[in-house]
Amino acid sequence: MGREAEQQRHPAWVRSRLEWSSVEAAKARLSGEAGEVAQFIGDVRLTHLSHEFYAWWLEARGQNIMPGPDNVNPRALVELLPYMRYLSWEADDRLVFRIYGSALEAATGIDLTGTNTFGDDMDYPGRAEDMARLKLLHSHPCGLLLIRELRTPEGMPYLCELITLPVAAGIDGKNRIIGTVMAREQMPESEVDFKLAPPLTLRRAIFFDIGCGVPGVPHLTA
């Protein structure tokens, strides 16, 4: 199936969420101001989308080290939800998608809701390191910024930004993580392709402080 035909499987309102104008206009519904939140993680300036998400997370956690499931309010996130993923750690190291945004679905061509991030069909170089990084978000509470090099359908490389932060376990005892995914540069909607197919080239991996310092694990940074 050609790219144009593949896109027609998705409603126009979903495809429009991948247009740069929509991405740059998306805002979290905050009681404070996103402009008060740092725009840099290390030496990396966050994209607009990551910055809005980070501002929401900081407000949602209040005085706690991280928000709980009851603090994940869809009304506050309604404009960010198309670009978000929300996952929970299940038994046997399974990290399962609870929410997989409509824009991400359009860009990958598949709805990953209910699937395991580290399933048997996702065996790739760096898989164990990816799992270890995400586990540190709770064992040593911190945030994680990843910059990956992905490819357009025509094979041209571009950089994709993933910011991920912890959410405390609910009454089910399952830790959760939440974050957004978006290209770091303006590009036509038709060229955005988030298929999680190897090679998943990692350009940067930055742990950042949310109040407990950062993990001292050089082999998990890049």
* Structural domains of the chain, with CATH: 3-212 (3.30.450.20)
* Cα 118 from Cα 126, distance rounded (Å): 11
Q: What is the pLDDT of residue 14?
A: 54
pLDDT 10s digits, 118-149: 887 777 788 899 999 999 999 999 999 999 99
Residue 192, pLDDT score: 81
Residue with tokens 């359009």: 106
Which pLDDT score is estimated for 9? 42
Q: What is the pLDDT of residue 17?
A: 73
Q: What does the pLDDT read at residue 63? A: 95
Low-confidence spans in the chain with pLDDT less than 50: 1-10, 13
Identify the pLDDT of residue 151. Answer: 85
H or E segment at 88?
strand 84-90
Which strand (E) or helix (H) includes residue 61? Answer: helix 48-61
- pLDDT value of residue 125: 80
- Residue 198 has a pLDDT of 64
The SS3 call for residue 84 is strand
**What's the token pair of residue 199?**
């090679």
Query: Tell me, what's the pLDDT at 197?
Result: 64
